[in-house]
Amino acid sequence: MDIAQLNERSREIFRLVVETYLDTGDPVGSRTISKAGGIDLSAATIRNVMADLEQTGLLAAPHTSAGRIPTDTGLRLFVDGMMEVGNLTRSERESIQGTCSATGRIFEDVLSDATKALSGLSRCTSLVMVPKQDQAIQHIEFVSIAPDKALVVMVGQNGTVENRVVSLPPGLPASTLVQASNYLNARLAGKNLDDAKDHITCELQAHQVELDGLTTKVIEAGLAVWSGASSEAPASLIVSGQANLLENLEAAEDLDRIRGLFEALEQKKELIRLLDLAKDGRGVRMFIGAENNLFSLSGSSLVVSPYMNGANNVVGVIGVIGPTRLNYARIIPMVDYTAQVVSRLL
Q: Tell me the pLDDT tens digit for each residue of 137-178.
A: 788 888 888 888 888 887 877 666 777 777 877 777 778 888
Burial class from Cβ neighbours inside 10 Å (0-12, 13-18, 19+) for residue 158 reads exposed
pLDDT in tens, 284-297: 888 888 877 666 65
pLDDT in tens, 78-134: 999 898 888 899 999 998 888 877 665 667 778 888 888 898 888 888 888 876 555
C-alpha distances in angstroms, 223 versus 153, 195, 250, 267? Answer: 12, 11, 49, 24
Helix (H) or strand (E) holding 145: strand 137-146
Task: Specify the pLDDT at position 229.
Answer: 41
Where does the pLDDT of residue 208 fall: very low under 50, low under 70, confident under 90, or very high at 90 and above?
very low
The span from the CA of 116 to the CA of 238, in Å, is 10
Where does the pLDDT of residue 230 fall: very low under 50, low under 70, confident under 90, or very high at 90 and above?
very low
Where does the pLDDT of residue 280 fall: very low under 50, low under 70, confident under 90, or very high at 90 and above?
low
Q: Is the pTM of this model over 0.85?
A: no
Helix (H) or strand (E) holding 127: strand 125-131
What mean pLDDT value characterizes the chain?
A: 78
Q: What is the mean pLDDT of residues 186-194?
A: 74
Q: What is the mean pLDDT of residues 185-198?
A: 73
pLDDT in tens, 64-92: 667 899 999 999 999 998 988 888 999 99
